[in-house]
Amino acid sequence: MGIVFDIQTYAIYDGPGIRTCVFFKGCPLSCVWCHNPESQRLQPEMGYRADRCAGCGSCVEACPHDALVLEGDGVRRDTGRCVVCGLCEKVCRADAHEKIGYKTSAEAVVEKVIADRPFFTESSGGVTLTGGEPTVQREFLLETAGLLKKSEIHTALETCGHFGKELMPALIDTIDLFLYDIKHADADTHKRFTGVDNRVILENFVSIVRKAGPPRIIPRIPLIPGFNADGASLKGICRFLKEARYEGPVHLMPYNSMAKSKYEKLGRGVQYQNMGELSGDMIDGFVGLVRDNGFEAVINH
């Protein structure tokens, strides 16, 4: 069993063809710009949208753990008491509560995604396992990927690369395409902004390039203002890619500042950091820079 927080069909920017994305919950990194804060914690949690709440109090009444109190126009949740049973979501008429993440089996996930097989076949698409960081739920990930392989569905893994080496053989065996985040080549900067060292990440990358070959891995660079959206950082990443003997395209994923409401929904509004804007000209400049450093650059939104 594992914990998934969303399954989205007709994803057209997450690997080749038409894809269905399975979002795993939980991530070992804590990137300051994270645009999927609901994916960070492994356990299911409750989201709450103050803008929808009618302040009727029916959830407060219904909560068997007294975890909710009416406060002003809305409701405050005591996360210490809340056991994420989801009853408040069920009784709410305004859809203000939302349970994020649910327990499910690999079989159930595969049964759901397999419904889109005709779309995968026609478009040479498949399933993308993403998150969060799918490797956090290693058993569940391998089971899901194994079943997908058995069903002959092309499987991509979006990963931050921060996982133990012992996982590698099984991943190489079941994953058709690694969409692999390379955030920064400098260890200190990486640690400062993501909470972890990049050593394992870079080593794993090299290892996949060696064992699986370049067509099965694509490095993706999230372009984050104030972190890596600058010439020196990008050159550093390109240098690493060359050393790793990687010879394919590089995906650039420009930052957008739209995740604010997601943080607020989780009651973590204070954690949200706006990293700033990237202009079209700046993005064009980065594309040119990566190209000048010997890689084909593809903008991926």
Say if strands 45-48 and 97-100 run parallel, antiparallel, or are unpaired. antiparallel
- Told to check if 102 binds another protein by CB under 8 A, we report no
- Told to check if 279 binds another protein by CB under 8 A, we report no
Stretch that binds another protein, among 37-45, 121-129, 167-175, 222-230 (CB under 8 A): 121-129
Alpha-carbon span 149 to 162, nearest angstrom: 23
* From 35, 42, 77, 128, residue interacting with another protein (rule: CB under 8 A): 128
* Residue 51 Cβ vs another protein, minimum distance, rounded to whole Å: 15
The β-bridge partners of 177 are 156
Reference 66, options 47, 53, 51, 85; nearest CA is: 85
Chain centre distance of CA 124? 22
* Residue 301 Cβ vs another protein, minimum distance, rounded to whole Å: 6
- Told to check if 17 binds another protein by CB under 8 A, we report yes
Q: b/e string for 106-144 if b means 16 or more Cβ within 10 A? A: beebbeebeebbebbeeeebbbbbbbbbbbbbbebbbbb
Say if strands 74-77 and 19-24 run parallel, antiparallel, or are unpaired. unpaired
* Residue 165 Cβ vs another protein, minimum distance, rounded to whole Å: 28
DSSP conformation letters of 59-79: HHHH-TT--EEEETTEEEE-T
Give the x-and-dash track for 73-92 against another protein (CB under 8 A): -----------------x--
* From 72, 270, 280, 301, residue interacting with another protein (rule: CB under 8 A): 301
Say how many Å lie between the first and final Cα of the chain, rounded.
Answer: 31
Residues in binding contact with another protein, number by CB under 8 A: 25
- Told to check if 115 binds another protein by CB under 8 A, we report yes
- Told to check if 136 binds another protein by CB under 8 A, we report no
CB-nearer residue toward another protein: 209 or 297:
297
Beta carbons of 283 and 225 less than 8 angstroms apart: no
CB-nearer residue toward another protein: 105 or 207:
105
CB-nearer residue toward another protein: 158 or 240:
158
Alpha-carbon span 211 to 292, nearest angstrom: 27
Q: Which two tokens stand for residue 174?
A: 């079941």
- Told to check if 100 binds another protein by CB under 8 A, we report no
CB-nearer residue toward another protein: 41 or 117:
117
- Told to check if 203 binds another protein by CB under 8 A, we report no
Beta carbons of 106 and 84 less than 8 angstroms apart: no
* From 56, 76, 108, 119, residue interacting with another protein (rule: CB under 8 A): 119
CB-nearer residue toward another protein: 112 or 191:
112
* From 123, 189, 273, 293, residue interacting with another protein (rule: CB under 8 A): 123
Residue with tokens 């063809």: 17
Which residues of the shown chain bind another protein in the complex (CB under 8 A)?
8-14, 17-21, 90, 115-116, 118-119, 121-123, 125, 128, 130, 299, 301
